[in-house]
Copies of this chain bind each other. A is one copy, B any other.
């Protein structure tokens, strides 16, 4: 149980560091215009350990550009990235995370760790099928479906279990290394 690379059926890489590069390839292939600005935002995602709020991106961007960037610039870029499925919005966090399954449609759930703030995209057709079936049963016709779970990722769950093996403790890490982007 030591692998950090989450290997899955689809064979996706899930490597944040190469995220921007992979999107770039995808754009080149599809004739989608990946401008310098958009590329820089992708780089910011690549360098982040967790989901980023729009204003976190804004700050990072301003730092990188050396001059103040305004909100619309960021939101427009996010719109582009969302539209092409390169990032997802995490509604419960008002934050954005790079898509871990570039190329496939997004049929998964988003799992957000309360301790480390990272998010993880878990693909599973069974969940989506169950949702579709349930919706159909009540006459509802879904157009988009969002599944977000909060809890502890494998790593943090193990750390908790180890750290408090005998005692017990308040489920949620306090100031445990919250990566850059996480708020709340």
Contact = CB atoms under 8 A, between A and B. Distances in A.
A154 B133 contact: no
Contact of A148 (B6, B141, B146, B172): B146
A96 to B, nearest CB: 14
A84 to B, nearest CB: 19
Interface residues of A, number: 39
Interface string A71-84: 00000000000000
Interface in A125-184: 126-127, 129-131, 133-135, 137-154, 157, 171-172
A138 B111 CA distance: 10
A2 to B, nearest CB: 11
A91 interface: yes
A109 interface: yes
Contact of A145 (B113, B140, B149, B171): B149
A65 interface: no
A49 interface: no
A44 interface: no
5 contacts: A91-B91, A139-B157, A140-B154, A143-B150, A143-B151
